Amino acid sequence: MRVQLGVFDRILLLNILPEQVDMSMFGIYHDFLKELSFSEEEHNKFQIIHSEDGEVKWKNDKPREFNIGNKMLSVIKGRLEACQEKELLSEGHMDLFNKFVKNEK
């Protein structure tokens, strides 16, 4: 699946992904996290700042295209659906939820 993700979507996704995955998924998961995370160049480009209270701010948000394979897509959808069932998603998660869960049904 090809999907456009901006800074906000990437931060949300990094925060909801599981800390651990099955060993057979480790390489796929590690590669995806590395791609989804922000490089030093992107930090400078988007002027990403972490405030003392934990808030993340940025400028110049330009979405980037990600090609997500079926196995990683399954992990993302599973986490979003689990968070929805536990009522842990906020309005800010709606775009992400729609991209990964609603568009796939």
Question: Tell me, what's the pLDDT at 60?
Answer: 83
Is the pLDDT reported for residue 92 higher than 80? Answer: yes
Q: List pLDDT tens digits, range 12-71.
A: 999 999 888 889 999 999 999 999 999 999 999 999 998 888 899 999 888 999 999 999
Task: Using alpha carbons only, give the angle 93, 98, 62 rounded to the nearest 5 degrees.
Answer: 70
CA-CA distance, 18 to 15, in Å (whole number)? Answer: 8
What number of CA atoms fall less than 13 Å from residue 12's CA on the CB side? 21
Three-class DSSP category at 98: helix
Q: Are 32 and 72 in contact (CB under 8 A)?
A: yes
Question: Does pTM top 0.75 for this prediction?
Answer: yes
Strand partners, 57: 49
Q: Model confidence at 97, in pLDDT bands (50, 70, 90)? A: very high
Confidence of residue 10 (pLDDT cuts 50, 70, 90): very high
Unique residue bearing structure tokens 């209270």:
53
